[in-house]
Amino acid sequence: MLTLRVSLALVAALSVPLPVTAQDSDVLKTPAEKLLSEAKATAFIGVDVWVGDGKKKLTGVTVLVEDGKVKEVGKDLSVPPSYERVVGGCLTPGIVMLGSTVGQSGSRPAAARSFVVRGRRFRGMPSRGGSSRATYTPNVKVTSKLRPMDGGWAEFLKAGVTTHAVRPVKSGLSGLGGVVRPLGRKVEDMVLADERYLYIGMASNTAHKKLLRDNFKKAKELIEARKKKPAAKTPAKPATKPGAKPTTTPKAATTKAVPQPKPQPKPGGDKPKPVQSKPTQATPTTAKKPAAPKKKPEDPKLVVLAKAIEKKLAVMLSINSGGDLLHALDALSDTDFPLVLMHQFSRGATDTPDHMVAQLKKRKVRCVLSADLGYAPNTRYFVNPIAKLMKAGVEVVLVPGRQHELKTLWFRLNELARAGISRAKLVEAISGAPAKLVGVQNRVGTIAKGMDANLLHFSRDPFSPATHLVRVYFEGRAVKGVSTKH
Amino acid sequence: MRYTTLLTALCATSLVVADLSAQRRRGRRGDRGGPPTAQVPTKPEKKKAAPKKPKPLVAYTNATVHVGDTTVYRRATVLLEGDKISEVGPQVEIPKRAKTIDCKGQHICPGFFILKGVNVGAPRSVRGEEKYGDGINPFHPMMKRALAVGITSYLTMSATSGKAPTGSSAVIKLVPGSIEGIVVKSPAIHAMSVPLGPEGWRKLKASVEKAKKYKKELADYEKKKAAGDKAAKKPKEDKSLAALLSVMDGKTRLQINSSSTPMFRSGGRMRFGGSAMSMRVPHIREALQVGKLFGAPVVLDNPSEAWIVADEIAAAKGACVLLPRSQVAPDPKVSEPNGSTIHACAILSEAGVPVAVLPGGGMFGSGIGNGGILGQDLNTPTLDPCFAIRGGMDAKEALSTITLYPAMLAGVDDRIGSLEVGKDADLLILDGDPLHYKTFVQTAVVNGKVVYEKAKEPFYRHVRPRN
């Protein structure tokens, strides 16, 4: 008893001063945190605003920002005297970067990476095509691998990326993607939404095709087995839909983009409600089923795949070449779930998905593509695969071609605008559309009342090469240092 | 009694003689089947039961048709049914439902088959469970470029210099934008190197003995199984012998190259082609010995001195992959003939050895690809047959060195290499003789589908058609 008291006293004594030092110490601040200035109520007066919803820009409006949120957007708003005033310029929403690999080990920006092929040293992104190693960890959340102290968060924040839809680095069925904000000392503070999509990193080889074919087949068998079981024993439970649960982010009825998987994970297990919901839990800890003593627990990996087959979890297919897509569609020919296709092609690629419009439409594929131009096959003539896909009615979301190309993103968008895509659509494609795709559109992605004040403040029209990025605002806080002065 | 014996002997001899002549025609020269006038195209087998949806019929008429086996028909028709050739010849009855394309003044020949293609969409090598078909990039930028010069299929293979048959290989068709129907055969060729040395020979002989033993055990097991013996045990398969067994059973061909002192070799990718890796007479003789040991004919890779021992190669039913443009200077200190000669193709083909040609390799190994100086080899696959003609080869036969003969060498002549009934519908429509330097491919057809049209692709559409 005495020892318990002593130890309790010790714990109390130690725990009181610690948070104080931690908060004050600059050492414990994340690199992104160090960049951010204090939150101030700010009024952007007489600015042009690309809302990020694909509609025309608002001209000469006032945007009020308070407590990290957009308080009001409109003309002739009265600005309280306590507000800091920023006059003129143009605002766009912060970039929502799909397929980000920032903060994971082994995911330094590609420009800085060098690799060796047959004795020769190269710089840049090694091709994944040759590797036949296919990872099989579909139930691993990528957020569990993030490092809040990574310098990448700060670098990308400076360039205007205020939300990351993170994906696993490895190829194969390598995990569940989530959405994070680049700020937080713990991963829990960063996560906006988790388990948003199943990630498939495709490579053209037998190992990857076999992995997809075999495991989705097994998952189908699991679903069949489930259908047989509950009819006899647990008739009431399957009625609950795990996909219908709201996430921790505020959500409106408009959420139709992605079938929502399940609420944000509660590692501590404070709320036991998911236990009841269904055995389709990705985490093994929640896989306890009360009324099945003899039954073997379901393979958590297959549970995730089964969710994808049942269209309760979005599937993102990442490819490195057009061939990868054909091989993936061939391997997934027994399934019919919709796909989100990610192809971060390099400039001048000739195997962009616009050559496969028929296949894309058949499979209801939405595309996440580099904001870039391609070449007409066998020529050096630039063509615009994105415009072609948009015209064909395929939904397109844009990302920087490779991560190190982020600094030239606006220049690329300028080229796409010149090639005939509406500018409102382009802004939407880097902010509102990706946010919608991963189901966080009620918090980030657009400039509207109640949304996070993630703003990019440009001196003029952001598409013009004469414009520069004046400042990035993350949740109402100005980011020190600007990195994209064109 | 005497008369009976004599009669029997006479019969036997005549049979053997008849058989020999048949062998000579088929095995060494391709199935040429006599002069063009004498040849009557065989009627195609009629479809067994009419399928629900009849395959589309396309007739290319009025063309000069180079069958690929040295036969040439004037004003002839090639009738395609789906992805196969249905009829070929000057007197083809064109069905009513067939789509007819008049090719007046144009030539039709089989698509070129290049015995070694590099970097044209297929992986160079695969390992373990991997398959070539799963690694194809059907959007490879070089595919259309290869089609533009008439290459419709190629062999891709891993570079090997082992002391026993190894390596992966596949015969691949060029079908841009598709991953279906592209792999003709895989593996097609296994490769090894000579000289072996005493230790190499000992090991090889031991492996062959092992393989023979395994084959015998397997045959016994099959027999016992067929007889209903349930206790029969299947002999254990030795994976290291798989390639050897496949060669011995004739499933794959054995290609032998010379591994004499390559100056550098890194991961099998870079190697010396051309003169540095050419086979000298001792290498060739050793390779033929290896073939004898396996009981399988061999394909000699770049035997620059094959012309000296052409008869020996012919007797062993060997075949050659030659580089007519590559030169090996004769050694003046040696009194016997040595070195390479431009007449090699002609001499070998006279002796009855099938010859496939490839551009000289240089630093990156022989093969057609986009390497070397501006990828020129990919643009000029007909240059090497032309060099063979310059060296005295029959002009009609020279076309076979990039069509039928390489297909025979890779064991895929039942599907590609010539315009014969029942073979795959892979053909070229050209505005002149296939080997003429002013000729351009107008249309390339692979698996019955048009995959290249000069007028629609950027490479040569600016070149005016010949008149």
The 10s digit of each residue's pLDDT in A137-154 is 999 999 998 999 888 899
A193 and A134 share one domain: yes
β-pairing verdict for A114-117 and A120-123: antiparallel
User: Are both A369 and A388 inside the same structural domain?
Assistant: yes
Q: Looking at residues A419-424, what average pLDDT do you find?
A: 89
Same structural domain, B367 and B432: no
Amino acid at the residue B93: E
Q: Is residue B196 part of a domain?
A: yes
Give the torsion sign (CA, B410, B413, B418, B423). negative
B275: phi then psi, degrees, rounded to nearest 5: -70, -35
Asked if B145 reaches chain A (Cβ–Cβ under 8 Å), the answer is: yes
Q: Are A162 and A308 in the same domain? A: yes
| B265 and B355 part of one domain | yes
Residue B116 lies in a domain: no
Domain assignment present for residue B72? The answer is yes
**Structural domain count, chain A:** 2
Q: What is the pLDDT of residues A445-480, one digit of tens each?
A: 999 999 999 999 999 999 998 888 899 999 999 998
State chain A's mean pLDDT as an integer. 80
Distance from CA of A296 to the nearest CA of B (A): 32
Q: What is the pLDDT, as a whole number, of residue B49?
A: 60
Chain A residues in contact with B126 (beta carbon < 8 A): 205-206
Does residue B189 share a domain with residue B99? no
Are A132 and B127 a contacting pair at CB < 8 A?
yes
Q: How many domains does chain B have?
A: 2
Contact B130 A207 (CB under 8 A): yes
Q: Which has more confidence, B374 or B350?
A: B350
Expressed as residue numbers, the domain containing A413 is 95-226+298-444
Is the Cβ of B139 closer than 8 Å to some Cβ of chain A? yes
Scanning B260-289 for CB atoms below 8 A from A yields 266-267, 269
Alpha carbons B114 and B358: distance in angstroms, whole number: 7
| Shared-domain flag, residues B394 and B441 | no
User: Do B440 and B376 have their domain in common?
Assistant: no
**Cβ of residue B460 closer than 8 Å to a chain A Cβ:** no
Are B211 and B294 in a shared domain?
Answer: yes
Per-residue pLDDT band for A230 (boundaries 50, 70, 90) equals low
Q: Cα B239–B241–B244 angle (5° rounding)?
A: 140
**Residue B395 placed within a domain:** yes
Same domain, B302 and B421: no
pLDDT attached to residue B130:
87
Task: Give me the residue label for tokens 């009738």.
Answer: B79
Chain A residues bordering chain B (beta-carbon distance below 8 Å): 118-119, 129-130, 132, 204-210, 321-323, 326-327, 330, 350-351, 355-356, 376-379
B13 within some domain? no
A126 shares its domain with A61: no
Which residue of B137, B172, B452 to mutate against A (max A Cβ within 10 Å)? B137
Residue B243: burial class (beta carbons within 10 Å; 0-12, 13-18, 19+):
buried
Range with the largest mean pLDDT of A225-239, A363-377, B367-381, B404-418:
B404-418
Beta bridge pairs of residue B219 = none
Whether residue B36 is contained in a domain is answered as no
The domain that holds A152 is classified in CATH as 3.20.20.140
Same domain, B313 and B442: no
Distance from CA of B38 to the nearest CA of A (A): 45
Q: Using one digit for the tens of pLDDT, what is the confidence trace for A199-220?
A: 999 988 899 999 999 999 999 9
Query: Does residue A59 sit in the same domain as residue A166?
Result: no
Looking at the structure, tell me whether residues A78 and A148 fall in a common domain.
no
Same structural domain for residues B77 and B195? no
Q: What CATH number does the domain containing B400 carry?
A: 3.20.20
Domain around B236: 183-416
Provide the β-strand partners of residue B151. B112
Please state which of the ranges A88-102, A289-303, B96-110 shows the lowest mean pLDDT. Answer: A289-303
Q: Are residues A181 and A71 in the same domain?
A: no
Q: Residue A360's closest CA among A386, A384, A326?
A: A326
pLDDT tens-place string over residues B374-386: 456 777 888 889 9
Task: Give me the pLDDT at residue B464, please.
Answer: 84
Q: How confident is the model over A50-65, as pLDDT tens digits?
A: 999 999 999 999 999 9
Average confidence (pLDDT) over A251-261:
42
Mean of all residue pLDDT scores within chain B: 83
Strand partners, A315: A198
A205 and A167 within one domain:
yes
Residue of B nearest to A353 (CA): B139
Contact B190, B161 (CB under 8 A): no
Answer whether A175's CB lies under 8 Å from A102's CB.
no
Which of chain B's residues have a Cβ under 8 Å away from the Cβ of A206? 126, 129-131, 134-135
| Distance from C-alpha of B456 to C-alpha of A76, rounded to nearest angstrom | 58
Of B416, B436, B458, the domain-final residue: B416
In the block, residue with structure tokens 């800091």 = A84
Better-predicted residue by pLDDT, A256 or A79:
A79
> Both A177 and A163 in a single domain?
yes
- pLDDT score recorded for residue A281: 42
Report yes or no on A284 lying in a domain: no
CATH number at residue B449: 2.30.40.10
Identify which has the larger pLDDT, B92 or A246: B92
